[in-house]
Each structure stands twice: as structure tokens, then as C-alpha cells.
Amino acid sequence: MDSSAQDKNLPATAKRLQEARDEGQIAHSRDLGHLAVLGGGALILLALLPAAFEGLRTMLRAQLRFDHTALREPTQALQRMSEGLGQGLMVYLPLGVLTLALALVVAVASGSWGFTTKPLMPNVGKINPLSGMGRLFSKQQLVETVKLVFITAVVALVGWRFLASHLQDFASLVMQPLETGLGQLGQWMVSGVGLLLVVVAVVAAVDFPVQKLLHAHRLRMSHQEVKEEFKQAEGDPTFKGKRRAKARELAQRLSISAVPRADLVVMNPTHYAVAIRYDDATMGAPRVIAKGTDLLAMKIRDVAKASKVPVLQSPMLARALYANAEIDQEIPSALYTAVAQVLAYVYQLKAALRGEGAMPAEPQPQVPPELDPHFKKKPVSRESVE
């Protein structure tokens, strides 16, 4: 087999993509998830910070107040600790829940989600050192390494510039009142975290399409794989043809029961038989209601004679109808003239048998030779061409 046929240069089919998703292979950008958690968490924290600060201050006031009752009953200390823990959870729990919900929304919106248990199944191949070395030096790992080095360098540069520009202001915090100092420190933290989030956002904007491209590259297929998938989806042409032949044979056997309703049976003396019916009130053209070969053709002939259906020997027309017309379908337009001739013969024959006319001569149907499966074109000689 040609080696080029094995080159995986074709995009993955829809079936291959779905199989990869079922196996947990999804284009996933970690930086997009980091941006959702860090950025979304920071915004949620800023929104909840005033209420959380007030709740913590109220809790500390209650916890730091002691009286003689607390000294008499030491168990109140445990009760206060449990109450403080509950109040603290009520402050931090909304932050965690909202951040988790935001991360899930971003994952679903970006298509980086999937529900499968296959990655949790044990796989001995994953602990193979050779395959591990292959993953270590893959394109995916190279991109991840370059990305981490870039992020580390940029974050270090931004952090150093920020600290260098605010070093004197940081030193002056000890000279300010506590509340003012905390407010100033909060503003610096917001601006510093904002700068870092900008870096993460830029990296995520670049990393997301890169991960899509790498995922599509990993799932590329060869011509042979596409052919095999098509065979699995559509069925092997050989077996498919056999199934169609068996279905056609079964339909032909079942169609024998329709022979008594036929107007005419056209036969090749021993090999082909086709039953035709025409009703000008309900049909636009004559229809084939039964057909068969060999023993089945003999059966159709016997049923036709028993039902007093005329049987006409016309080998070429019988072969053409068998090859080009399906059961319960109208005959091809190219055979209209030939079928009209034999139907006219049948109608005249029936009228003659009733004493309403002379006996007609057997027709010679005009069948286009190319519709006869036994017709062979004569080779064109060189002399005739010249």
C-alpha cells in the first residue's frame, strides 16, 4: 500500500470527533479556565467584599467580648468558636460557589466540557516509559513549555515593575492609620491583580485557538482510516450487495401473490418472467407487480395460467423489464411503446375470445437494445472510423 495513503492529512470526521469526546479528548485551554477562576473570582470578591468585611468585623466584635458569664461557663468558648466558623463559612461559601459556577459556564460556552468516565479507567499503556517519552517531546508539550516560560517571564516583569514603582508607598503604610492603610493596600492589590489578570487574559486569548488547532491536528485521519470508518458506517459493499440481493429475492417471492391481478405476463421461455398491470384510472403508466428468474419465473407462469392471465413469449422485452423495472414501480419511459404494443395485443385477444373481433397476430415489441442486459455493443473497427 502506498505510504502516502497513511499520512494523516485529512480533518477528523464527525464520528471521530464524537468518539474523541466520549473518550475525554477535548480541546481544553487551561489558561481560559485560570482566567475564569482568577478573574471571575476577583470580580466576585470585589462585589462581596463590603458585606464580607462588615460580617467579619461584627463577628470579631462578638468573639472578643468577654464578661463574667463566659468565665463561669467555659463551654461558651466552644459555642462561640462554632458560631464564628459558621459565620465565616457564610462569608466565603458564596465566593466559592459563584466562582465554580462561573468556571463551569465558561467551560460549557467554550466547548471544553464533556461527561465521560473512560479517563478514570485504569490504562497500563499510560505508565509505559516509551509512550511517556513520546508525550514529553510532543508538539503539545512543547507549546505548554513555551507558554509557561513566557507567562513566568511576563508575570515576573509586571510584578517587579509594580513593586519597584510602589516601594516607597509601601514603606509609608506604617505611618498611616490602620483603616487608611488597609484601604490603600486594598487599592494597590486591586491594581496589581488587575495587571496580572490582563497578562492571563492575553495568554488565554492566544492559547484557546492554539489548543483548538492542536486538538484538530492530533485527531487528523489518513485516507485508509476514512475509508474504514465509511465501511463501518455504511456497511461493507460486498455484504451490503448480498443483503440487497436477498431482500430483492424475498420481495420477488412475495410478489407472486399479485400475479392473478396482472393483465399480462411477459416471459423469456425459461429464465425471465414479468407480470404487468395497468389501470388507466389510477395509474399514470403500467407497473410491474411481480418478476422473477428461473424457478421463480416458472412459478409466475404457472400461477398466471391457473388464474387465466395471458402469457406472452417476448424474450427481449422480458429481460429489459426485469433489468430496468422494480416491483410496484412504473416501467421506464423508454419501454412505454413496447409495453403498449403487448397490452394492445392482450386487449384485442380478450375481445376476440369474446367474439368481438378477429384474433390478433403476436406483436414484435420495439425494445431499445441498450435496455437488454444481454445486448453487447459491436466493437468499432478501425476501417469504419477511417
Tens-place pLDDT, residues 239-268: 666 777 776 677 667 778 888 989 889 998
* Eight-class DSSP state of 221: B
Which fold would CATH assign to domain 257-371? name from scop (3.40.1690)
Cβ–Cβ < 8 Å for 224, 8? no
179: three-class secondary structure by DSSP: helix
pTM for this entry:
0.40
Q: Find residue 276's DSSP bridge partners.
A: 264, 288
Side-chain half-sphere CA neighbours of 2 within 13 A: 6
Cα separation, 242 vs 373, in Å, equals 20
Please list the residues that pair with 311 across neighbouring strands: 265
Tracing cell 505548554 back to the chain, one arrives at 144
Confidence at 275, pLDDT banded by 50, 70, 90: very high
pLDDT of amino acid 385: 41
Amino acid (1-letter code) at residue 111: G
- φ, ψ dihedrals at 52, nearest 5°: -65, -40
pLDDT tens digits along 144-201: 788 778 878 887 887 788 777 777 777 676 677 766 766 777 777 777 777 777 877 8
For residue range 81-102, list pLDDT tens digits in order. Answer: 777 777 777 767 777 788 888 7
pLDDT of 238 > 70? The answer is no
Q: Which of 295, 305, 249 is nearest to 275 (CA)?
A: 305
Give the Å distances, CA to CA, from 84 to 50, 58, 63, 113, 376: 18, 10, 8, 38, 99
Instruction: Pull the grid cell for residue 199.
Output: 497578562
State the Cα–Cα distance between residues 44 and 133, nearest whole angstrom.
42
Cα end-to-end span (Å), the chain? 43
Residues linked to residue 265 through DSSP beta bridges, in sequence order: 275, 311
Question: Which stretches of the chain are assigned E, i.e. beta strand?
Answer: 264-267, 272-277, 287-293, 311-313, 329-330
Confidence of residue 294 (pLDDT cuts 50, 70, 90): confident
What's the rounded Cα separation, in Å, for the pair 306 and 12?
A: 61
- Percent of the residues in the chain that have a pLDDT greater than 90, as a whole number: 3
The domain locations on the chain are: 30-111, 257-371
Per the structure block, which three cell numbers stand in for 362? 403476436
